[in-house]
């Protein structure tokens, strides 16, 4: 995993330039930290929980 990450980062630096690669990496890290620090509520996932045909009326 670490080798793949280093190869991908090296390719990104080669294609976009080191400054832009650094900006992209920092933006992704900041976004991941923000998502991890956000309070978790079950209300976001309510629409994604599948309900069977016969189980829609049960509690």
Q: Residue 57 pLDDT more than 80? A: no
- pLDDT the model gives residue 40: 66
- pLDDT the model gives residue 56: 55
Q: What is the pTM of this model?
A: 0.44
* CA–CA separation, 43 and 19 (whole Å): 39
Tens of pLDDT, residues 13-32 = 788 887 888 888 888 888 88
* CA–CA separation, 49 and 37 (whole Å): 23
Select the more confidently predicted residue: 56 or 1.
1
Tell me what the pLDDT averaged over the chain comes to. Answer: 75
Cα dist. 41→19, 44, 56, 59 in Å? 37, 7, 22, 20
- pLDDT the model gives residue 49: 64
- pLDDT the model gives residue 44: 61
Rounded to the nearest 5 degrees, what angle is found at the Cα of 23, between the Cα atoms of 18 and 27?
A: 145
Structure tokens at 30: 């900041």
């Amino acid at each position: 995993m670490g080798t793949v990450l280093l190869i991908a980062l090296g390719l990104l630096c080669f294609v976009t330039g080191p400054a832009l690669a650094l900006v992209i990496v920092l933006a992704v890290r900041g976004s991941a930290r923000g998502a991890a620090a956000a309070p978790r509520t079950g209300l976001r996932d309510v629409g994604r929980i599948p309900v069977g045909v016969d189980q829609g009326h049960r509690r």
